[in-house]
Amino acid sequence: MKRKIIIFILICCSVNLIIAQTAEDALRFSRIYYSGTARFNGLSGAFGAVGADFSTLATNPAGIGLYQASEMTFTIAPLTANSTSSYNGTNASADRVNFGLGDFGFVFNIKPNTKGNTGKLKSFNVGFGFNRQNDFNNQLFITGVNSRNSLMQSYVNELNANGTRPDFIREKYPFDIGLAYDANLVVYDSLSGKYFCDAKYGGVIQNKTINTYGSMNEIELSFGGNYNDQLYFGLTVGVPIIKYYETSSYQEFRTKDTIPNFISLNYRYNLQTQGTGINVKFGLIYRPAAWIRIGASIHTPTWYPNMHDEWFSSMQSNFTTTQWNSVVYSPIGNYDYRLTTPFRAMGSVAFILGAYGLVSADYEYVNYSQASFNSSQDSYTDVNNEIKSTYKSWGNIRLGTEWRLGNFRLRGGFAYFSNPYATGSNNSERVQVSGGFGYRAKYFFADVTYVWSKMNQDYYLYDRTMVNPSFNSMYTNTVYTTIGLRF
Whole-number Å distance between alpha carbons of 299 and 346: 9
Tens of pLDDT, residues 117-129: 677 899 999 999 9
pLDDT of residue 384: 94
DSSP annotation of 468 reads P
pLDDT of residue 1: 39
pLDDT of residue 12: 38
Q: Whole-angstrom distance between the N-terminal and C-terminal Cα of the chain?
A: 77
Question: Domain 9-150+199-486 sits in which CATH superfamily?
Answer: Outer membrane protein transport protein (OMPP1/FadL/TodX) (2.40.160.60)
Whole-number Å distance between alpha carbons of 143 and 53: 44
pLDDT of residue 116: 61
Whole-number Å distance between alpha carbons of 187 and 262: 12
Contact present, 33 and 417 (Cβ < 8 Å)? yes
DSSP of 21-64, one letter per residue? --HHHHHHHH-------HHHHHTTT--TTT--SGGGGGT-GGGG
Burial class of residue 116 (count of CB atoms within 10 Å of its CB; 0-12, 13-18, 19+): exposed
pLDDT of residue 256: 80
Contact present, 484 and 454 (Cβ < 8 Å)? no
The pTM assigned to this predicted structure is 0.91
Q: Is 197 left (phi over 0), alpha (psi -120 to 50) or beta?
A: beta
Whole-number Å distance between alpha carbons of 179 and 256: 25
Q: Which of 231, 228, 214 is nearest to 283 (CA)?
A: 231
pLDDT of residue 14: 38
pLDDT of residue 431: 97
**Where are the domains positioned within the chain?**
9-150+199-486
Give mean pLDDT in consecutive 10-residue pieces for the chain, a chain of 487 residues: 38 46 93 95 97 97 96 96 96 94 95 72 95 95 96 96 92 95 95 93 95 97 96 98 98 88 96 98 97 98 97 96 94 96 97 96 96 90 93 92 97 96 82 97 96 95 95 97 96
